[in-house]
A and B are shown apart, each in its own frame.
Chain A
Amino acid sequence: AQSVTQPDIHITVSEGASLELRCNYSYGATPYLFWYVQSPGQGLQLLLKYFSGDTLVQGIKGFEAEFKRSQSSFNLRKPSVHWSDAAEYFCAVGPFTGGGNKLTFGTGTQLKVEL
């Protein structure tokens, strides 16, 4: 069965500092990979996705993520964090073949930004 691990429950960074959120997945083949962001009281918004091709993907709000097959990782990065980036971030994996659109989510990383 597929699974997603986000090892950091909470992360605090200073505004302007760089950010990296970790995501590791377990899956028998190449999966579809996603990062979603959830602001307080809101639904989930897609930041970026990886389906195939270039392993470095760009998303909205200045975020990027790199797929590393050898490490089964899909870490999210941002060079300079803004106070408005404070939110909860979820990594998710979907099956490459079959399984429809069923996503498996990680437990989330809560990001706090200090001014």
Chain B
Amino acid sequence: NAGVTQTPKFQVLKTGQSMTLQCAQDMNHEYMSWYRQDPGMGLRLIHYSVGAGITDQGEVPNGYNVSRSTTEDFPLRLLSAAPSQTSVYFCASSPGTGMNIQYFGAGTRLSVL
């Protein structure tokens, strides 16, 4: 049972480049979300989705886009990377839209030079 899978694990970008962080879950969870983790700041919510075709902004959405075309996948797009987006990114999923346990992926460590 894979759970929540994030790819890639590590990525280095130059300022202005674009990329997509992939997140897939095989638990048929409705809810998926993206967080970024920065030293001394804990995890902050970027975007979330309550089901296929439905997304919404979290606490720090600027510079990021998301879409949810299937239940399984929830990619995070950086259209023009900036050094301020250097961070560790975590994807999470949970079974419903009530307050359920969230299951986290192993993270993607991104450096923007």
Contacts and interface: CB of A to CB of B under 8 A. Distances in A.
Contacts of A101: 31, 33, 48, 94, 96-100, 102
A108 B42 contact: yes
9 contacts: A32-B99, A36-B104, A41-B107, A42-B106, A43-B4, A43-B104, A51-B99, A101-B48, A101-B100
A114 B106 CA distance: 26
Q: Which of under 10, 10 to 19, 20 to 34, or 35 or more describes the interface residues of B?
A: 20 to 34
Interface string B74-113: 0000000000000000101010111111101111000000
B45 A103 contact: yes
B101 A49 contact: yes
Interface string A34-78: 101000011111100101000000000000000000000000000
Interface string B24-47: 000000010101000011111100
Q: Considering residues A41, A45, A95, which has the most beta carbons from chain B within 10 angstroms of its beta carbon?
A: A41
Contacts of B66: none
A94 B42 contact: no
A90 interface: yes
B105 A43 contact: yes
Contacts of B101: 34, 46, 49
B4 to A, nearest CB: 8
Contact of B107 (A43, A94, A102, A103): A43
